[in-house]
Structure 1
């Protein structure tokens, strides 16, 4: 998919079509998850600090990510891919390999090109977004072709033309060539794929080691025999948050860890899994990062067990200097649970003891109904969906000094009007993402897809370029 998160936001928000849009962490420590093609003209890229992006493109719309929307769109695209073949290997929400041969597609160029063009049309009709398709005889080549096709294009690498195509490309094009490998090759005078192949397998093995050198030589020749794997089983499930201000209060650190543990269990249960090992991640004020883990007696999806394990692990970590990032994960995944009876019994015993104490202690003088806890002020993050009792559905443009600004529009409407409310206005509440296609201003349904701006069809890059940007997105 082309600039996936940003393009989805432009499709959902008519007033942003054709304008620079940047999705990611909006705080001072956030990073860019995706930049629209209009923003890339100014030099904004995935994984760039948001503060740097603001200097390069101050007039862009900076939005918090809406993963519910992105997953809805991703599910539709994956359905289209599974209609082509039983062998679909998702790499992320917006990218996947498909084995067309397993779907009965003839290996002739005209046949596969027709399938690719039909897929692009189907994606646009189903999602109002564009995707780029690369077709080749191997995964590595198909990936390279899809990058060359961006945006909204299709590239076929003909059998026999692989080496000619790859030759002039920089060596970083090949899978597995990161900064360290590229630097080792540069020192040996190797800069392109052609020069990598000419160096020969023996020289690459000498420079990089047997496994890495031999694998790189094969890929430089255009050889990649990795199969498309339909099931990519997750090894762990985790959540983490980066905080705009370092956490120095130990009580706040504990409460944030508890919240993350509960979110992690929600994801665990949504995936129908359980886990045996609980892991916490702590990034300190000085960017030093450490992890602690505890292995349980058996797999669990009990939030109390995960919370307690995470709390025990936190006691082994010094957080007095300040915490920049916290994370909680569960690994050793299984499809069944083996309840931790000791933890369950302890919880039941604590509940019984608390009930006994409450029954034994007389109520304090003047005690009546407990006073409700003071509700925290609502946080209206830019880009998030809202609904107003009078004006209907819209999205947050910004908030501050007790006010929130909302633009009322839908994917199928014209650019909407902007109105400002108090942040605690009872008529304003959080909303849910509207479908990018199929909606309408009358009965909520329409057969016409949301239009896409022609100006989106420029630039290059893929959503997967974000790398580790996700971990720096605060307050998802």
Structure 2
């Protein structure tokens, strides 16, 4: 029985949209319904599925499955090129539907929402009715293929755990009187914040199961995690209100902004890689200005595919998630803080000229461009002399037109051959923002 300090009440609902991207595609295309469907970033066997429908998951195809392997498992699988704008629109429509039942307090990602319950809503029967009403609202107002699992708990951390305990279309509640024993059957990796590296570290310290973890007292958890995260987790797992309601530990000021892309086969050349890198910079520079940052550092990463013979000759190679063995190269340029596209393009060109030219570096298949050391616009000191050529004014004019007509309307010629390549990708942990006509 729950004690007086921790009565059996739910304070949070965590809504997790099941197979979200694939479900959106099946909503948009009725002919896909009931059939194995996977969303991919580009139509290439070497890339990976970024989402799979329930039918595909039943066959063993899941997020991260290589497209070539998915075809072997299910030759008739329907592959769909991901449409970031559609998923963003559906995410916002679902938020509106949920808001009609219960206010959305937090949006951790494009396919997750959190509602905070108040007063009598916290009573288990009332919370369950709200959860069921949310499910129905999503089905009625957004689409019948859109289903969600909802976790109910006394804090956000437990609500997230509960939402993962029954899929698809689940509804699980974790009450204080059931804790922590109701968690004993979980794996360590089922806990938010415990990834592969953390799991290895915990096991190295003798914590191999949830039972081992739950047996620790607060001091033991603090020592195990070597930080206040251990104290918080101790209380969260017992349903306590720590003041932050089980929310993830807030990050510091944003440190970087960038884009990366696995090249489509037609762009796996030096010229194609440059055009795509140019496109990534164009998008990143526009986001930099929209989010009101300056940057003083730009890094470029290129990964080159290797044949079996080349792999045997190279002592250090890595394997991409697509299965491609590769050699990598990267470089960082530092410069006076700026936010205009032309200055950033000059930095990119300087790095690009330094890329390796050996035989092992002739087949690029991945490019990444990242701006680091971000400085908020309001912290920048006014310069005595403006940059040459009115570069900021040029970027502002480009932004004005691109926001109105699409972000590739006005651009530098170097990205022309890749204008349609490297579309905006799915934001798993970043909430999409609409800039003009585009979601980024």
Aligned residue in 2 for 1:3:
19
More deviation, 33-42/183-192: 183-192
8 Å contact kept, 1:248–1:319: no
CA-CA distance at 1:16 after TM superposition: 0.8
TM-score by length of 2: 0.68
Does 1:261 pair with 2:302? Answer: no
Does 1:112 pair with 2:127? Answer: yes
Aligned residue in 2 for 1:453:
none
Find the residue that maps to 1:32 and give its secondary structure.
coil
TM-aligned CA distance change 1:278 to 1:27, over 3 Å: farther
Q: Distance in 2 between matches of 1:380 and 1:263?
A: 12
Q: Distance in 1 between matches of 2:369 and 2:158?
A: 37
Match of 2:353 among 303, 307, 315: 315
8 Å contact kept, 1:8–1:70: yes
Aligned residue in 2 for 1:131:
148
CA-CA distance at 1:298 after TM superposition: 3.8
TM-aligned CA distance change 1:84 to 1:304, over 3 Å: farther
5 Å-filtered alignment, 1:32-47, equals: 32-47=49-64
Aligned residue in 1 for 2:112:
95
Aligned residue in 1 for 2:386:
341
Unaligned stretches of 5+ residues in structure 2:
1-16, 305-316, 318-325, 394-415, 430-439
Does 1:284 pair with 2:303? Answer: yes
Aligned residue in 1 for 2:71:
54
- Greater relative contact order: 1 or 2 (C-alpha under 8 angstroms, separation 6 or more)? 1
Aligned residue in 1 for 2:307:
none
8 Å contact kept, 1:139–1:224: no
TM-aligned CA distance change 1:70 to 1:326, over 3 Å: same
8 Å contact kept, 1:275–1:333: yes
Match of 1:174 among 191, 196, 221: 191
CA-to-aligned-CA distance 1:37-65 (integer Å, 9 cap, x gap): 10011111112222222222221101110
8 Å contact kept, 1:258–1:311: no
Aligned residue in 2 for 1:241:
261
Unaligned stretches of 5+ residues in structure 1:
349-374, 385-462, 466-475
8 Å contact kept, 2:257–2:370: yes
Aligned residue in 2 for 1:389:
none
CA-CA distance at 1:238 after TM superposition: 1.9
RMSD over equivalenced CA pairs, Å: 3.9
5 Å-filtered alignment, 1:347-362, equals: none
Q: Distance in 2 between matches of 1:347 and 1:154?
A: 52
8 Å contact kept, 2:45–2:67: yes
5 Å-filtered alignment, 1:356-435, equals: none
The alignment of Structure 1 onto Structure 2 pairs a total of residues equal to 356
Q: Distance in 1 between matches of 2:115 and 2:92?
A: 15
CA-CA distance at 1:330 after TM superposition: 3.3
